C-alpha cells in the first residue's frame, strides 16, 4: 500500500512539473535535438565574394583571385552556396597600377558599380559570409552596391578579406554602417599572397575564425 502511494505521488509530481512548463529530462533531450534540426534546416549559408584575376600586388599575374581562393575554402568548410559579385560592365584593368587608378576614382566618386546577376532566393539564407579584397583601405565600391541591394533583416554577416598590409582596414564598422539591420562579426583578414602560396596556413586561420 505504501509502495503504491509512493508511486502515485511520484507520478503526480512529474505531471505537475510538466504542467508548470519545467522540462523533464526526456522533454529536454527531445527539445534540444529538435532545436538543432530546426537550426540546420533554416541555417542556410551563402558565401558572397568579389575578387580579381590579372596582376595583383605581391603575387604577379594570377589566374584565380586571392579572395576567391579563401571564399572557396570557407564554402567547402561550412557547406555554403557561393555567389560571385561580377560587374555588369567589367571595365577593370588587368594591370595593377591601372586597376588602382580606376578603384581610386570609384572611391572618390562614391560610385555604386552595377552587379551582373542577383542572388536567387536571398531570403532563404541566414548566414552571409562576405569576402572582398581591401582596396584603398576600404571595400571595393561594388561591395557597397551588393550590401545596399538586399534586405539583411534577420541575417548575420561574417566578413573576410584579403590584403597586403592593411589587415581588415576597419571594414567591420564600414559594413555595419551600410547594413545596420544585421550583426556584423569580426573580419577574417588574410594576406593575399598566403591565399596563393600558403594554403595550409589560410585553412588554419579559417578554422580559428570559425571557432
Ligand X SMILES: Cc1cc2nc3c(=O)[nH]c(=O)nc-3n(C[C@H](O)[C@H](O)[C@H](O)COP(=O)(O)O)c2cc1C
CB of 102 to ligand X, least distance (A): 7
**189 and 167 Cβ atoms separated by less than 8 Å:** yes
If phi over 0 gives left and psi between -120 and 50 gives alpha, with beta otherwise, what is residue 140?
beta
CB of 167 to ligand X, least distance (A): 7
**162 and 133 Cβ atoms separated by less than 8 Å:** yes
Q: Judged by CB, which is closer to ligand X: 81, or 164?
A: 164
**180 and 148 Cβ atoms separated by less than 8 Å:** no
Q: Which residues bind ligand X (CB under 6 A)?
A: 51-52, 56-57, 65-68, 96, 99-100, 103, 133-137, 162-166, 192
CB of 174 to ligand X, least distance (A): 13
Residue nearest to ligand X (CB): 192
Q: Give the integer Cα–Cα distance in Å for 149 and 117.
A: 11
Residues 6 or more apart in contact with residue 52 via CB below 8 angstroms: 65, 92, 99, 133
Q: Judged by CB, which is closer to ligand X: 18, or 98?
A: 98
Residues 6 or more apart in contact with residue 67 via CB below 8 angstroms: 49, 50, 51, 131, 132, 133, 160, 161, 162, 192, 195
**192 and 162 Cβ atoms separated by less than 8 Å:** yes
Q: Judged by CB, which is closer to ligand X: 84, or 126?
A: 84
Q: Judged by CB, which is closer to ligand X: 155, or 163?
A: 163
CB of 32 to ligand X, least distance (A): 40
CB of 209 to ligand X, least distance (A): 16
Burial class (CB in 10 A: 0-12, 13-18, 19+), 10: exposed
Residues across the chain: 211
Q: Judged by CB, which is closer to ligand X: 152, or 160?
A: 160
CB of 151 to ligand X, least distance (A): 26
Q: Judged by CB, which is closer to ligand X: 68, or 155?
A: 68
Amino acid at each position: 500500500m505504501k509502495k503504491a502511494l509512493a508511486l502515485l505521488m511520484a507520478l503526480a509530481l512529474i505531471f505537475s512539473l510538466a504542467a508548470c512548463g519545467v522540462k523533464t529530462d526526456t522533454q529536454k533531450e527531445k527539445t534540444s535535438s529538435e532545436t538543432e534540426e530546426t537550426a540546420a534546416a533554416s541555417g542556410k549559408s551563402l558565401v558572397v565574394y568579389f575578387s580579381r584575376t590579372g596582376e595583383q600586388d605581391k603575387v604577379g599575374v594570377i589566374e584565380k583571385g586571392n579572395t576567391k581562393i579563401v571564399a572557396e575554402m570557407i564554402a567547402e568548410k561550412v557547406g555554403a552556396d557561393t555567389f560571385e559579385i561580377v560587374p555588369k560592365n567589367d571595365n577593370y584593368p588587368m594591370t595593377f597600377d591601372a586597376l588602382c587608378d580606376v578603384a581610386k576614382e570609384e572611391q572618390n566618386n562614391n560610385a555604386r558599380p552595377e552587379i551582373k546577376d542577383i542572388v536567387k532566393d536571398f531570403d532563404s539564407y541566414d548566414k552571409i559570409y562576405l569576402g572582398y579584397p581591401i582596396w584603398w583601405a576600404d571595400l571595393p565600391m561594388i561591395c557597397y552596391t551588393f550590401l545596399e541591394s538586399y534586405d539583411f533583416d534577420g541575417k548575420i554577416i561574417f566578413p573576410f578579406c584579403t590584403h597586403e598590409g592593411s589587415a581588415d582596414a576597419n571594414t567591420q564598422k564600414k559594413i555595419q554602417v551600410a547594413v545596420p539591420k544585421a550583426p556584423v562579426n569580426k573580419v577574417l583578414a588574410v594576406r593575399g599572397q598566403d591565399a596563393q602560396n600558403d594554403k595550409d596556413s589560410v585553412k588554419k586561420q579559417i578554422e580559428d575564425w570559425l571557432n
